Amino acid sequence: MRRLLIGTVTLVVLLAGCSGHSDSGGDDVTDASGSPAAGSSARTSADFGTLKDVCGPGTAKPSTVQGVTDQQIRVGVLSDVGFTKVSDFPDAAQVFTSWCNDLGGINGRKLVPVTHDTGLLQVRQAVLDACRSDFALVGGGSALDGLGVKDRLKCLLPDFAAQSTQAVGSDLQALATGAGVGYFPYAGFYTWLIKDKYPDSARKVGIIAGDSPVSKTYSAQFKEAVGGLGGKVSYTDLYPAIGVSDWTPYAQTIKRKGVKGLTFIGDFVSLAKLEQALTNIGYAPDWIDANSNAYGPAFLQLAGSALADQHNYAELSATAPLESASASPATQEVIDLFKKYAPDKEVTYPVLRAFSAWLLFATSARDCATLTRKCVYDNAVKQKAWTGGGLQAPADLSKNDVPPKCYSIVESTTNGWKAADFHPDHGPYRCDASAYKYRGDYGKPATLADVGKSMADVT
DSSP assignment of 57-92: ---PPP--STTB-SSEEEEEEEE-HHHH---HHHHH
- Residue 332 and residue 12: Cα distance in Å, rounded? 36
**2-181+324-402 and 187-320+404-419 in the same fold:** yes
pLDDT at 58 over 60: yes
**The dihedral sign for the CA sequence 255, 257, 262, 266:** negative
- Which architecture does CATH list for 2-181+324-402? 3-Layer(aba) Sandwich (3.40)
Average pLDDT, integer, range 437-450: 96
For residues 190 and 287, is the Cβ–Cβ distance under 8 A?
no
Closest CA to 233 of 190, 212, 262, 270: 262
What pLDDT, on a 0 to 100 scale, did the predictor assign at position 59?
A: 86
Q: Flag whether the pTM goes above 0.85.
A: yes
Instruction: Please tell me which residue, 139 or 43, carries the higher pLDDT value.
Output: 139
Neighbour-count burial of 264, counting CB atoms closer than 10 A to its CB (0-12 exposed, 13-18 middle, 19+ buried): buried
* Domain segments of the chain as ranges: 2-181+324-402, 187-320+404-419
Distance CA 327, CA 334 (A): 13
Q: Check pLDDT > 90 for residue 8.
A: no
How many residues in total does the chain contain? 459
Q: Is the pLDDT of residue 18 over 50?
A: no
> Which of 30-39, 167-176, 246-255 bottoms out in mean pLDDT, i.e. has the lowest?
30-39
Q: How high is the pLDDT of residue 110?
A: 98
CA atoms of 119 and 248, how far apart (whole Å):
32
Helix, strand and coil percent figures for the chain, each rounded to 5 = 35, 15, 45
As a whole number of angstroms, the distance between CA 408 and CA 317 comes to 6
Task: State the average pLDDT for the chain.
Answer: 91
Q: Which comes out higher in pLDDT, residue 61 or 296?
A: 296
**Residues 86 and 142 sit within 8 Å (Cβ to Cβ):** no
Rounded average pLDDT over 429-437: 97
Residue 193 pLDDT more than 50?
Answer: yes
pLDDT band at 214 (very low <50, low <70, confident <90, very high): confident
Q: What is the mean pLDDT of residues 200-218?
A: 95
Question: What gap in Å lies between CA 345 and CA 197, rounded to an integer?
Answer: 36
Can you name the residues that pair with 350 across neighbouring β-strands?
Answer: none
The fold of 187-320+404-419 is: Rossmann fold (3.40.50)
> What pLDDT score was predicted for residue 44?
67
Strand pairing report for 72-79 and 136-138: parallel
pLDDT, position 26: 41
Task: Give the CA count within 13 Å in the CB-facing half-sphere of 445.
Answer: 20
The pLDDT of residue 345 is above 80: yes
pLDDT higher than 70, residue 22? no
Handedness of CA 431, 432, 433, 434 (dihedral sign): positive
- Kind of pairing, strands 409-413 and 416-419? antiparallel
d(CA 292, CA 231): 22
**pLDDT above 80: residue 135:** yes
